[in-house]
Structure 1
Amino acid sequence: TATFVRLQGIGHVRVHQHRPVRGTVKTVSVKREGHRWYVILSCEDVPAEPLPATGAVVGIDLGVASLVTTSDGDHLDNPRHLAASADRLAVAQRDLARTKRGSKRRRKAVARIAALHGKVRRQRLDGAHKAALHLVRDYDVIAHEDLRIANMTRSASGTVETPGRNVTQKSGLNRSLLDAGWGVFLRILADKAESAGRELIAVNPRNTSRTCAACGHVAKENRLTQAGFHCQRCAHTAHADVNAAINILRAGLALRDVAQAA
């Protein structure tokens, strides 16, 4: 059956509905991405769809090598969609630079770049939905780092008064963080957790990557490499992200106990 949306001043427009509308529609907005148009519905009083309890809890560490590493030792891949499209984007940017302003070729070049970026956004969104769904299906309680992503990806160049250091390396790291899409993933995870009746706990990330999950010793030297963790006190060895995820889980459960006792 065809689905139509009535837009003021335009009339009824046929749309491809990708999922049922639940709750009460409050606002309707229209967005254009390249040659594609989207109708976005905002709803309230959306009925929850709680999932059966699993009795399992997990801590997750967000990263660049793996988007998510769990305290159980699982790694969810980070596809790096922007990096995968870097060559095509570079070619499209060079083609744009050769065009004249106001020309038909320039409009086509701009549309091509917008289409490439739109594809990256859709791929990143799809990956975030799948990763979040995997977690809310398997765990009743999910603890994650309370990350300030905007601060983490602040301009590497700094200001005239206080110029940045290691600008090239920091800029590359910023691109990797934004390509991973941590903010998108955490937002989707929060929405799915609420709908599924799961508990999401945000914890302070301070020292979670430097603390030994076996003995609690905190030292910068414990983190040997990006993936290697070796405690300088008890000699505990583990994957660094798994070790951090265990610490995040413990911190989350401690916060939960405090909240329940209050």
Structure 2
Amino acid sequence: MGWFDTVEWPKDRDGCRWNSTADGGQVRVYLQGVGHVRVHAHRKVEGVVKTVSVKREGRRWFVVLSCDEVPALNLAETGGVLGIDMGVTSFLTTSDGVHLPNPRHGRRNADRLAAAQRDLARKQRGSNRRRKARERVAGLHGKVRRQRLDHAHKTALWLVRHHDVIAHEGLRIGNMTQSASGTVEAPGTNVAQKSGLNRSVLDAGWGVFLNVLASKAESAGRVVVAVNPANTSRTCPSCGHCAKGNRVTQAGFVCVACGFAGHGDVVGATNVLRAGLALLRA
């Protein structure tokens, strides 16, 4: 017991049956060896159910469905195009000057998680108290994960509803969050600062958001394009001059060639949009 957190049935009606007794408005799933289990469905299931998975997160149980023949929900064209610049101070900044705050779900729950982990470390292995402490730690991790996912879905839905074309930076998050500690022979520099930046990047959940955005855009008939992020925050949107000195601060941008001034993240988002539109025209 407790060895596996996920069980998957590769085919509906082969050991499992989705919505097997949907009488009286109650949605249920039948699992072989368990029976009928009531499910709190958060939305109507579209398409044909192909696989059914049961997943455990702490004391919570989830049913995950994969479906074929899901109807596309194409939205009406808006004529809007947008570039977005991802960051840790602002979760994202748009080319039209909107700054979306970074919710920092991990940082907000860090104290509670640290306390729960300390409590877990003091418990005797194999005891019921250790099992309950482990469940509390898993529950907190699950809460942060669900908060990030909820924020990603709401943000992506807002973007998709109001824009036909969305351009973003093609970020390699795995490379960006590599450790700077180095080796014994060649130790790294600014390790503490890089470690803090890595935590902030991972806490922002850029990868989760971009995956959700791509999925929602495909379902709604929108276009999402990823562009090379190199020099997008150093290039002047007015004259095209690119220089490291253009970015005077994290938020400040002043072109050393023509004097154009603006917010650095808005400049980056504007250049991302231009690069995205150029790719679509090519």
> Residue type of the partner of 1:134?
W
Q: 1:225 Cα shift?
A: 1.3
Does residue 31 in structure 1 map to residue 55 in structure 2?
Answer: yes
Q: TM-score, normalised by structure 1?
A: 0.95
Q: Per the alignment, do residues 216 and 93 of structure 1 end up closer, same or farther by CA in structure 2, a change over 3 Å counting?
A: same
| DSSP-derived class of the 1:49 partner | coil
Listed one character per residue, the Cα deviations across residues 77-122 of structure 1 (whole Å, up to 9, x for unaligned) are 2100000011111211221222221222221211111111111111
Q: 1:14 Cα shift?
A: 1.2
| DSSP-derived class of the 2:70 partner | coil
- Unaligned 5+ segments in structure 1 are none
Aligned to 2:215: 191
Does residue 89 in structure 1 map to residue 104 in structure 2?
Answer: no
Choose which of 21, 29, 33 in structure 2 pairs with 1:9.
33
What is the alpha-carbon distance in structure 2 between the residues aligned to residue 150 and residue 161 of structure 1?
24
Deviates more, 1:161-170 or 1:24-33: 161-170
Aligned to 1:44: 68
- Unaligned 5+ segments in structure 2 are 1-24
| DSSP-derived class of the 1:157 partner | coil
Does residue 57 in structure 1 map to residue 81 in structure 2?
Answer: yes
The number of residues matched between the two structures is 258
What is the alpha-carbon distance in structure 1 between the residues aligned to residue 40 and residue 53 of structure 2?
15
Q: Mapping of 1:95-114 within 5 angstroms? A: 95-114=119-138
What is the alpha-carbon distance in structure 1 between the residues aligned to residue 187 and residue 170 of structure 2?
28
Does residue 148 in structure 1 map to residue 153 in structure 2?
Answer: no
Q: 1:158 Cα shift?
A: 3.1
What is the alpha-carbon distance in structure 2 between the residues aligned to residue 202 and residue 172 of structure 1?
26
Runs of 4+ aligned residues of structure 1 deviating over 6 Å after TM superposition are none
| DSSP-derived class of the 1:164 partner | coil
| DSSP-derived class of the 2:120 partner | helix
Listed one character per residue, the Cα deviations across residues 15-50 of structure 1 (whole Å, up to 9, x for unaligned) are 111111111111111110000000100112211101
Q: 1:8 Cα shift?
A: 2.6
Q: 1:162 Cα shift?
A: 4.2
| DSSP-derived class of the 1:234 partner | coil
Q: TM-score, normalised by structure 2?
A: 0.89
Aligned to 2:19: none
Aligned to 2:147: 123
Q: Per the alignment, do residues 163 and 8 of structure 1 end up closer, same or farther by CA in structure 2, a change over 3 Å counting?
A: farther
Listed one character per residue, the Cα deviations across residues 107-164 of structure 1 (whole Å, up to 9, x for unaligned) are 1211111111111111111111111011011100000011111111122323445433
Choose which of 72, 83, 93 in structure 1 pairs with 2:96.
72
Aligned to 1:235: 259
> Residue type of the partner of 1:103?
S
